[in-house]
Amino acid sequence: MKAQKTKTAYHTTSLTAAVLLAVLAAIIPSVAYTQETDISDVESIDAIITAAYDMISGDAGEPRDWDRWSTLFVDEARLSPTRPTPDGRWGRSIISAKDYPTRTGTNHERNGFVEAEIGRVTEQYGHIAHVFSTYVSFRSREDTEPFQPII
């Protein structure tokens, strides 16, 4: 998989709320460590982002480690992906990090779903960080073009 910029427009998504809460989990350990957490997954903002993309991504037939996924987020964490609607506009859905595996996991594992981060903006003030992470989506790690070539 290569996340290169081409003339193809890319589908982008903000993992804002989930990443924000995951970052808070890393900064305030007593909030999030209710399960066995691999400390290397949550030791920094970069570690949290890397772990989240690693757990979501996989080729068709490759199982995801949803137990590991759940250790990244506090119970209130939300993901807020954007996507094109059938009428050509943009829409946003809000899904809890806890519900994400049951709502998307089967599809990801059946069809393949690999994300590569192509941009990030982080704003941090004290113990609070807000992270906008933008990615492109592929069906396989070998793909060179995203499956949703949309801005």
How is the chain split into domains, by residue range? 16-138
The verdict on pTM exceeding 0.85 is: no
Backbone torsions φ then ψ of 12, nearest 5 degrees: -120, 155
Residue, of 122 and 84, whose pLDDT is higher: 122
* pLDDT at residue 13 is higher than 50: no
**Mean pLDDT over each residue of the chain, to the nearest integer:** 78
* pLDDT at residue 2 is higher than 80: no
Give the per-residue pLDDT at 151: 37
DSSP three-state, residue 151: coil
Angle at 30 between CA 29 and CA 36, to 5 degrees: 75
Give the closest residue to 79 by CA, choosing from 134, 20, 18, 21: 18
Residue, of 25 and 85, whose pLDDT is higher: 85
Confidence of residue 30 (pLDDT cuts 50, 70, 90): very low
